A = this chain, B = another copy of it.
Amino acid sequence: MKEQTIQLNLSPERKPKPQSEELGFGKIFTDHMFIMDYTEGQGWHDPRIVPYQPISLDPACMIFHYGQTVFEGLKAYLTEDNRVLLFRPQKNFERLNRSNERLCIPPVDEEFALEALKQLISVEKDWIPNAEGTSLYIRPFIISTEPFLGVAPSSRYKFMIILSPVGAYYKEGIHPVKILVESEFVRAVAGGTGEAKTAGNYASSLKAQEIADGKGYTQVLWLDGLEKKYIEEVGSMNVFFKINGEIVTPALNGSILEGVTRNSVIELLKSWDLPVTERRLAMEEIREAYKSGQLEEAFGTGTAAVISPIGELLWNDEKMIINEGTTGPIAKKLYSTITGIQNGKEQDPFNWTVEVEQYAATK
């Protein structure tokens, strides 16, 4: 696979670039995309960078019926000295293959996928916005394309990477959000697909999110599917709480997504000699910490928002205002450190960033 050459078919026309204030999240796409195909017996083949365009699929393709699909999300950042940085991209392709394993999708060569991403970004460098908080969001994904209505793994797939210049994920930016603790719907359960990045987990979350929206809450906090006692995730982010000085995040249990930002936050906190613990965390413990004045901070972590402070939790009818509804010092420091490493303004002691060189052929 690594030996394969990526064919370049560049678009003669380029779309106008948006102003940074028009960006939003995931609505504008660049001029090109990467695509390769998988055919049983042949493996992954025909890697190519082509103009961004609709794909044509038989209506019986399995992706439309049985949801055999995985995706990833990461970002590219433009530094002040005009270099392009990726943040821990190997972790995303490792996780893509873990998701593939769970969904019975053939693995991709992680090094080749990263190489393909670098070439695509090199083509699209002018699309990376440079205003504060902006970046180029990267969406690798795999869809099953065999036209067959039997419930079985597909014999054909497409692996694609599309790019979207983005502003901040949450309209509120780094300001705290209000979170509804979900007591009826369930996102995932051990033995299900919760630790894979696959479409069904997100489809199943829409209903609870819609109800939360209607009540004026930005996201839901998911409890475990078995007892609805233990904290799992917030919306599509991992979640951290600071309780009486200890920073706690739910331990990976098979139904929680292993976030790259989550892992980075844990490593950073350890490097700062702050007490950070991965363990089972009951919602009741949060409530008691709140009652006794020991719930000091709460925040979500994810690629889209990086750090999303939580200013309020609603659990049944009980409202908990955290840190007086303002962004706490740990959340602030994590946000500025991680975004600083990402855009090259801060030292990168962990060698997390990967620079994308300009490929001669791609201009």
Residues on A lying within 8 angstroms of B by beta carbon are 25-27, 29, 33, 52, 54-60, 63-69, 71, 102-104, 137, 139, 141, 143, 147-153, 160, 162, 164, 184-193, 198-207, 209-210, 225-226, 228, 235-236
**Could you give 30 example pairs across A and B, Cβ below 8 Å?**
A26-B149, A55-B56, A56-B56, A60-B162, A63-B64, A64-B143, A65-B141, A67-B67, A67-B199, A67-B200, A68-B202, A68-B203, A68-B206, A102-B207, A103-B203, A104-B207, A137-B149, A152-B209, A153-B206, A184-B191, A192-B192, A192-B204, A192-B225, A193-B200, A198-B203, A198-B204, A199-B199, A199-B203, A200-B200, A200-B201
- In whole angstroms, what is the CA distance A160 to B225 when docked? 33
- A225 CB contacts on chain B under 8 angstroms: 189, 191-192, 225-226
**Of B26, B69, B150, B199, which is within 8 A of A26 by CB?**
B150
- The answer to whether B210 touches A104 (Cβ under 8 A) is yes
Known: A147-B29, A149-B164, A207-B104. A192 touches B189 (CB 8 A): yes
Residues of B within 8 A of A198 (CB): 67, 200, 203-204
Residues in chain B near residue A26, CB distance under 8 A: 60, 148-150
A206 and B103 contacting across the interface, CB-CB below 8 Å: yes
Residue numbers in B under 8 Å from A103 (CB-CB): 203, 206-207
Q: Which of A25, A103, A203 has most B Cβ within 10 Å?
A: A203
A37 to chain B, nearest CB (A): 14
Instruction: Choose from B152, B204, B210 the contact partner of A200 (Cβ within 8 Å).
Output: B204
Residues from chain B with a CB closer than 8 A to the CB of A199 are 63-67, 199-200, 203
Q: Which 4 A-B pairs have the closest CB atoms?
A: A200-B200, A26-B149, A67-B199, A186-B191
